[in-house]
Amino acid sequence: MARLIANVKINWVSETQGGKSTLPLNELYYVITDPIKGKFGESISWSLVLDINNNYYDVVIGSRIGLGRAYFLVDEAPHFLLYEGFTLNVYEGPHFVAVVEVKSLTSYYSDNHTVLNDP
């Protein structure tokens, strides 16, 4: 089955608020979401994969920002939620680490990670 890949902006929780001291970069980072209501009304936390290619400090807003791509780990996840402007709170175990904002859709990939087409 093909999955949707989204370009995302990651608003990292500050270290003083319990966020990560070292931010992931150029590696896949697996997080879980807040419970999300699916098409049939069920609420489930889903695994989200972040592929972060840039982290920087935004002096205007005083926050650490990451840029990269994201996709749900499993086929059954609510891929329909990955639309521009959608935000997700994400966690590393029980620790709240970031708010992920979908900026745009980038592509679909197959199970062997071959890009199939651009939306």
List the CATH number of the domain containing 53. Answer: 2.40.30.10
Q: How many structural domains does the chain have?
A: 1
**Residue 119 domain-assigned (yes or no):** no
Alpha carbons 4 and 37: distance in angstroms, whole number: 18
**Residue 43 domain-assigned (yes or no):** yes
Q: What is the value of pTM for the model shown?
A: 0.86
Q: Would you place residue 37 in the very low, low, confident or very high pLDDT band (cuts 50, 70, 90)?
A: confident
Give the mean pLDDT of 91-113. Answer: 84
**Residue 71 domain-assigned (yes or no):** yes
pLDDT per residue over 40-62, tens digit each? 788 899 999 999 999 999 999 99
**Residue 66 domain-assigned (yes or no):** yes
Q: Provide the residue range defining the domain that includes 52.
A: 3-112
Q: Which residues contact 78 (CB under 8 A, 6 or more apart)?
A: 36, 38, 39, 46, 72
